[in-house]
Structure 1
């Protein structure tokens, strides 16, 4: 749904199930999960700091996500040479800025694709 250099946001609608049956947990809320694999953040301190940033940024005023289940996934590691400490203020600021960019992209309607031309009027 939306991507940045280090994060990806995935979304699944809550109201429609593939079998057509009623959902098990009907909800009018936004669900949010965070997935930070060891592959991209080796230290638990770093993984927990990134997860805390994900939840804090998504709960900030002004962040509007549609009613659905969302997962924010870390898809690339942060440079260990640039961020020496496992939980530095510099790393937290970089994560926060990128998450704000990701959620801003997710809130925008999708742009029309160039592959599908607009219908011509006669």
Structure 2
């Protein structure tokens, strides 16, 4: 009754690393799941590294087909800039099959960061 792990799938979209440029993740396929959330985890910022996070969606995996997710399709909001040593979580309630994260470098040098997409409410459980 309390087992959450069998009802979610976690996909690492940004491996924890020091980011020195804009990072666009690979597409995550939401087929077979009825909910999703993005978790961004940050560490140190060097030389005022200023990164803006966003989520994009598409019906295909073609890079040019992705568009920014409308605020109405997010539960919660991303900050205008990531802060050091923080964790952010935002839910996705859109209808597209694929999502991806974009961490845009606006100024400064770098940030240590990683991101995970958590897919939930599977059509078939338990998830392996």
Calculate the TM-score normalised by the size of structure 2.
0.23
More strand by share: 2
Bigger radius of gyration:
1
Comparing both chains, which one has the higher relative contact order based on Cα–Cα distances under 8 Å and sequence gaps of 6 or more? Answer: 2
